[in-house]
Amino acid sequence: MTPYTASPSQPFETSDPVEDFSTMNSHLWQTFSLARNKSAALPLVREQLFLLNRSMHSVRSTAAHKKLCSATGDIFQLAGEIFFDSNRHTDAAHCYSVAASASREAGNPDLWACALTRHAFIGMHDRQFKDVVPILAAAADIARRGDSRLSTRHWVAAVQAEAFAGIGDLDSCKRALDEAEQVHSLSGQIHNGGWLRFDGSRLAEERGTCYTKLGRSDLAEAALVDALSQNLSSRRKGSVLADLAALGAQRHDVDQLFSHANAAIDLARQTRSGYVAHRLNDLKGQLDSLMPDSRVTQLIEGISALNIVG
């Protein structure tokens, strides 16, 4: 069985599946968001994909076909998120590619731009920042064709900022962050809580991540401490803690390094989040200058024990 198909033992039926798929997708995104272990949502997502695939073979009208394509682009993004969180990047990349194709066929630029942006995250986590800059530029162009009431273009800008930080382009990073900040000028329902969740509440941690990558600890720490004071999910908190640990490594502040890194390791163990584990794995490369402190050796061993897979 492939990672993105299913044969449920008790497939559910809906009275109007074309309309109801988007509703079910929304429920699945909520399940994913609330789950401490993100992979727990995978069986339900596989069932939804099975039903969508079956409906694709029976749909007749163009309008219904486009709705099913939108639902497919939506749920494949969720499948990609689950695989990405588990560090199954090959499976995630396939899901995001299918999501982008389905979203384009649906004529939904916001959905399409989000699929491309999620795909770019894979390259960013492999530190291939130069490679993802053109992908994100394409996503930004597509987002500008979308619904101006939505936050799609602002989310793309926030991700672009991190890519620019990764290549050391401070000026472009700042411009992208400023563009992302304009999300606060929007009003009404600016996201759907599923494939688009950006509302600006993560900008503090995103600024902190960018400035950490740029080695600007003066700018990074204030943003990260502010982010840590907010009500964060375990996954987001682990990411912030990993960045604060990286700041400690940059400053050779071993107390800050160990305090935040060990807290992030505990979260990664509790949630089994490959995303947090990967962020910690990035930290290992910054620890050589702190050797031969025995605590550094223990920290490296603790990160390695998280069993990161690609």
**pLDDT the model gives residue 93:** 97
- Integer angstrom CA distances of residue 259 from 262, 265, 268: 6, 10, 15
Q: Is there a single domain that holds both residue 160 and residue 58?
A: no
Query: Residues 96-107: pLDDT tens digits?
Result: 999 999 999 999
**pLDDT the model gives residue 6:** 38
Q: Is there a single domain that holds both residue 132 and residue 118?
A: yes
Alpha-carbon distance of 90 to 81, in angstroms, equals: 12
Closest by Cα among 99, 72, 81 to 29 = 81
Query: Residues 10-28: pLDDT tens digits?
Result: 444 445 667 789 899 999 9
The pLDDT confidence band at residue 243, using thresholds 50, 70 and 90, is confident
Query: Residues 148-200: pLDDT tens digits?
Result: 999 999 999 999 999 999 999 999 999 999 999 999 999 999 999 999 999 99
Q: Is there a single domain that holds both residue 248 and residue 303?
A: yes
Q: Is there a single domain that holds both residue 52 and residue 119?
A: no
Alpha helices in 86-108 (DSSP H): 89-106
Which of 165, 200, 235 is the last residue before a domain boundary?
Answer: 200
Query: Which SS3 state, helix, strand or coil, does residue 197 take?
Result: coil
pTM: 0.79
Q: Is there a single domain that holds both residue 225 and residue 291?
A: yes
Which of 58, 81, 107 is the last residue before a domain boundary?
Answer: 107
Which of 75, 107, 139 is the last residue before a domain boundary?
Answer: 107
Q: Is there a single domain that holds both residue 102 and residue 113?
A: no
Domain of 16, in residue numbers: 1-107
Q: List the CATH number of the domain containing 271.
A: 1.25.40
Q: Is there a single domain that holds both residue 154 and residue 164?
A: yes
- Of 41 and 292, more confident: 41
Q: Is there a single domain that holds both residue 125 and residue 213?
A: no
**pLDDT the model gives residue 17:** 64
Look at the chain and report how many structural domains it folds into: 3
Q: Is there a single domain that holds both residue 162 and residue 262?
A: no
Q: Is there a single domain that holds both residue 179 and residue 207?
A: no
Tokens 């940059």 -> residue:
250
**pLDDT the model gives residue 119:** 97
pLDDT average, residue stretch 36-48:
91
The pLDDT confidence band at residue 233, using thresholds 50, 70 and 90, is confident
Q: Is there a single domain that holds both residue 73 and residue 147?
A: no
Q: Is there a single domain that holds both residue 45 and residue 137?
A: no
Neighbours of 19 (CB within 10 A): 12
